[in-house]
Homo-oligomer: A and B are copies of this chain.
Amino acid sequence: MPITITAFERSPDRGKGLARDMRVRWALEEVGQPYEVRLLSFEAMKEPAHLALHPFGQIPTYEDGELTLFESGAIVFHIAEHHEGLLPDDANARARAITWMFAALSTMEPPILDREVTRLLERGESWYKQRLSAVEDRIRKRLGELSNRLGDADWLDGEFSVGDLQMVSVLLRLKGSALLDEFPNLSAYVARGEARPAYKRAFAAQLAVFHAT
């Protein structure tokens, strides 16, 4: 039985690669693991059969024999732990790569997601501009700190790792916004991630779903 993941039948981002299955596809491509994809409608995601796999009724899930996982962060880490290519061998370097993975998800992503929610749900409100500006200031502060740490290195700590995979994935949510352009080394970092062959294969695969349906 191959690894099976779930993804949106019709991605809300129209194939821009921001749905969370993209991170799992990218990780699987980095480690050279084949996988199958089960596509779900928004209705199917809320049905008992899917809620048994994912208590929050979201995508992606991951099925490998007896094991079922949810949460893209957990799935990507599981892939990194069980296959060569996304975690260094040295114990301390491994712990630092894991730290960057958590930094991406717990420190960088929340204000970036807040910006998306604000733009999606509050655009018609009287406070929209004022709130958006406050949220963007919070993001800018974090980007500045990240930019200072990255400096002119290619990746956050030595070789490309699961920490970079998650950080690039989070920063990609800002692509095309002026925010990322304010930090040229971060823009270049994101571009290095997108240039990886594994990223390109994963991106093409999720885009093909959008065009097929």
- Give chain A's interface residues, CB within 8 Å of chain B: 51, 55-58, 66-67, 69-75, 77-78, 92, 95-96, 98-99, 101-103, 105-107, 109-110, 113-114, 121-122, 125-127, 130-131, 134, 142, 145-146, 148-149
Contact = CB atoms under 8 A, between A and B. Distances in A.
Contact of A126 (B56, B107, B126): B126
Contacts of A121: 134
Contacts of A146: 55
Given A74-B98, A106-B106, A127-B127, 13 more contacts: A55-B149, A56-B103, A56-B145, A67-B96, A71-B103, A77-B102, A105-B105, A105-B106, A110-B113, A125-B130, A126-B127, A127-B131, A131-B131
Copy number in the complex reads 2
A110 B114 CA distance: 9
Contacts of A99: 69-71, 74-75
A56 B147 CA distance: 11
A148 B71 CA distance: 17
Contact of A78 (B75, B95, B110): B95
Contacts of A134: 121
9 smallest CB-CB distances across A and B, nearest first, come from A55-B149, A74-B99, A73-B102, A74-B102, A71-B102, A127-B127, A67-B92, A110-B110, A56-B145
